Amino acid sequence: MKLLKQILIFIVFTGAIYGIFTLVTNQKEVVNTAALSAGNHEQIIKEIDRDWNDLSDWSEETYNRHNTMVAQSLNAGIINELDSKTLKDRINKAAYQKCVAAMDREFARADCDAAKLADNYAGLQTILMNERGLANNGQIVEVGKVYNLYQRIIAFNNKSFGLNPRFNSSNDTWNSWTGHQDKIYRQKNEFVTDPRFQSRLNGITAINRIYDTDSKLQEARNKFYNRLSSEICSYYGNEANDLKRAKETADDSAAGAIKEKRLKLLSRIANLRVNLSNEKYLYSGHDINTRMRYLNKEIEAI
């Protein structure tokens, strides 16, 4: 009886110890899991903020590393889904703000670095692919518009403004410089009156080359009219020489045909000179006018 009593006491005591141990262990696991998740969440936030604060521009390596770290932490169970979402938002915000700040920095510099602008803009596109909800973000939209204007002006400034006359002797037509130059002036005016040009870009040396447009046009215009003069006068000079040779070798029966060709040439030259006068950027003293008057007199004398 005494032995049975001792066995019962032992069983009860052992059960109590096991129950207490189990309870304490379970409570400890719950507390540690929550603490582990919270601790890792805070640690990752610190790492994200520290890494982007240490950078001056977009870093694809940093962006990818942070996203990989969050994905692996979620898979390992050391952060939860809500943590993962807030951390991804943190990464995207830190990254796009760095890109925007870097681009704003370059826009404010006279020696704006085109390569850095392009790299940071590409970073924004990467971020937008991963988080489409940022497409309407005010900072991103604005810096994108400024960058688009920047690219258009740089492309405009890099143009030669040259134009090939392409004189067509079958109908006495050519590419009009007037329309070409007017189009360029409209484009230039559109740029320099743009509020973003005036407030964000007009301090950049490469952008301010737009003010060289007039001198570039003058150089291109001179080349155009000199080439047009050469093409027209070469053609009509050959026509005049052919007419002279025809008259020198023709008999009386061909006199009527020669006279008809002569009158036709004079009529064409008269119309051509009228069309030249419509080229408002062709100054009256240009060599083409002198040469055409000479050709006209030469043909009249045949």
Cα 149 to Cα 207: distance, rounded to the nearest angstrom? 10
User: 252 falls in which pLDDT band (50, 70, 90)?
Assistant: confident
Q: Counting beta carbons within 10 angstroms of the beta carbon of residue 37, is it exposed (0 to 12), middle (13 to 18) or buried (19 or more)?
A: middle
pLDDT, tens only, 168-212: 999 999 999 999 999 999 999 999 999 999 999 999 999 999 999
Write the CA distances from 205 to 131, 211, 242, 296, 297, integer angstroms.
Answer: 35, 11, 55, 50, 52
Residues 137-180 pLDDT 10s: 999 999 999 999 999 999 999 999 999 999 999 999 999 999 99
User: Lowest mean pLDDT: which of 47-61, 118-132, 208-222, 251-265?
Assistant: 251-265
What does the pLDDT look like over 100-125, one tens digit per residue? Answer: 999 999 999 999 999 999 999 999 99
Place of tokens 């059960």: 15
Q: Is the pLDDT of residue 7 over 50?
A: no
Mean pLDDT of 32-36: 46
pLDDT, tens only, 69-91? 999 999 999 899 999 999 999 99
Under the banding of pLDDT at 50, 70 and 90, the label for residue 37 is: low
- Dihedral sign from CA coordinates of 65, 66, 69, 74: negative
Whether the pTM exceeds 0.85: the reply is: no
